[in-house]
Copies of this chain bind each other. A is one copy, B any other.
Amino acid sequence: MIMANEKKLVEAITSMEEDFAQWYTDVVKKAELCAYSSLKGCMILLPAGYAIWENIQKELDARFKETGVENVYLPMFIPESLLQKEKDHVEGFAPEVALVTQGGTETLPERLVVRPTSETLFCDLYANIVQSYRDLPKLYNQWCSVVRWEKTTRPFLRTTEFLWQEGHTAHATAEEAEERTIQMLNVYADFCEQVLAIPMIKGRKTDKEKFAGAESTYTIEALMHDGKALQSGTSHNFGDGFAKAFNIQYTDKDNTLKYVHQTSWGMTTRLIGAVIMVHGDNSGLVLPPKIAPVQVMVIPVMQHKEGVLEKAVEIKEALSRNFRVGLDDSDKKPGWKFSEQEMRGIPVRMELGPKDIEAGQAVLVRRDTREKTIVSLDELEAKLSELLDRIQKEMLERARKHRDEHTYTAHTTEEFKEIVSTKQGFIKAMWCGDEACELKIKEETGASSRCMPFEQEKISENCVCCGKPAKTMVYWGKAY
């Protein structure tokens, strides 16, 4: 018997070559990652989507704590006057905030902003609890949701409310703050490569693209399968700008009052969008083993035959000690179960039928390459472990190869325009540092400056836009 939701699944998803945006929406929906809510622009994370976020959280949180970060929780509301304390910051965020004006039966004397980010709240806290150099550094982080009133939204990539973590640190010196800013960017980039299997370009944002109130913003940028860029995490150095606005001072060892230096850094559920768009294919989601909620799906073949289901259960339980294992013992046909496992991006499926059991073996099929291996049941655990490691590694290699093959070099404006109109990917080109050139390129080609990479190359002597002497190489690209 075919169920209602099975019928939906068999309709082919749009192919990514035909319409990448529609392919993305189809995958998000058919892999049951999220559902739309009654409220435009807000999404519901369903179990399959939320479980990926839980794995991301677990991995990131452990990495944060290794560097001495502690978790806290601050209120979701910011009194409007508090948001206004730092001039650049309020200019950046005021146009996109949600405001609470009524609480219980009373109209509030002061409007409350639903946090779009929490710099101001952390500053308010640090002003209260930091007195001496002994109280520094403060290395706080929180996991929460934030709200930014967006006009056009897209699941995971841009939603009115989204889940994220925001780290906020306070340090005695400018050097220490800069060091922490870079350290967290490196934590992010390593996490993306090692866990999400997505290679990152690390660099600094131009002044135009930096965070509202920051002295400098660092970013990691990834290339999606369609050749568009995705800003995947940012780390900001605030210098002492917020400290001065909020009067966060400490008594140093020399008994003088000094301002602290601050940083903040954040990553969001947008990372799930990156995973979909880097690794997915025309059969659906492809999840890296390290964040897959289910790493292996055991699918019995001819499960009505005596002993098949029992053996499948036995294997599932044995494997569950070291892997995240599912068992599909529903009454659907095996072929249908295979499609479902592929749609959901489960890295490996294990097929097990009466003949396999007789031969003391199982068939392992990789989701990413569809490669089949026959494995002796005695060696199952070791082979599976090897296979998952190999998948993780090869997914990163493939993503890097794709990224490198879609990274182009432009020496002149003409070349830049030629690349933009015929190819999709990153463009490396020199820049003089003048915002006018940056704006002109964006306007004429649609490609924005993604970052000034830490790994610089001297492509030419001159700015790709104005021809004046160049200061730096920039990665450009159309972006989500």
Contact = CB atoms under 8 A, between A and B. Distances in A.
Contact of A100 (B43, B51, B114): B114
A202 B145 CA distance: 34
A340 to B, nearest CB: 14
Given A35-B129, A38-B124, A72 B50 contact: yes
Nearest to A114: B100
Q: Which of A37, A71, A149 has the most chain B CB within a 10 Å cutoff?
A: A37
Contacts of A43: 75
B37 A125 contact: yes
Interface string A41-81: 01111110011011000000000000000111111111100
B50 A73 contact: yes
A3 interface: yes
A436 interface: no
A140 interface: yes
A13 interface: no
A128 to B, nearest CB: 7
A459 interface: no
Interface string A125-168: 10011011011000010001101010100000000110100000
B101 A35 contact: no
Interface stretch (A91-99, A205-213, A393-401): A91-99
A183 interface: no
Q: Which of A43, A51, A125 has the most chain B CB within a 10 Å cutoff?
A: A125
A378 B98 CA distance: 60
Contacts of A99: 100-103
A335 interface: no
Nearest to A101: B101
A46 B75 contact: no
B47 A72 contact: yes
Given A100-B100, A102-B101, A71 B51 contact: yes
B149 A103 contact: yes
Contacts of A37: 74-75, 121, 124-125
A254 to B, nearest CB: 15
A12 interface: no
Total copies of the chain: 2
Given A4-B132, A102-B99, A74 B38 contact: no
Question: What interface size band does chain A fall in?
Answer: 35 or more
Interface in A3-43: 3-5, 35, 37-39, 42-43
Nearest to A146: B76
Contacts of A144: 145
A422 interface: no
A105 interface: yes
B45 A104 contact: no
A112 interface: yes
B77 A42 contact: yes
A82 interface: yes
A59 to B, nearest CB: 15
B98 A100 contact: yes
Contacts of A100: 98-101, 114
Given A47-B70, A47-B140, A70-B47, A42 B75 contact: yes
A28 B201 CA distance: 45
Nearest to A131: B4
Contact of A39 (B79, B96, B134): B79
A45 to B, nearest CB: 4
A260 to B, nearest CB: 16
Contacts of A76: 76, 114, 145, 147, 161
Interface of A: 3-5, 35, 37-39, 42-47, 50-51, 53-54, 70-79, 82, 95-105, 111-112, 114, 121, 124-125, 128-129, 131-132, 134-135, 140, 144-145, 147, 149, 151, 160-161, 163
21 contacts: A37-B74, A37-B125, A38-B121, A39-B75, A39-B78, A39-B79, A42-B77, A44-B73, A44-B75, A45-B73, A47-B72, A53-B73, A75-B161, A76-B147, A95-B104, A98-B100, A98-B104, A99-B101, A100-B101, A103-B149, A144-B145
Given A39-B79, A45-B73, A76-B147, 15 more contacts: A4-B131, A35-B129, A37-B75, A37-B124, A47-B71, A50-B72, A51-B71, A53-B73, A98-B103, A98-B112, A100-B114, A102-B111, A103-B160, A104-B149, A104-B151
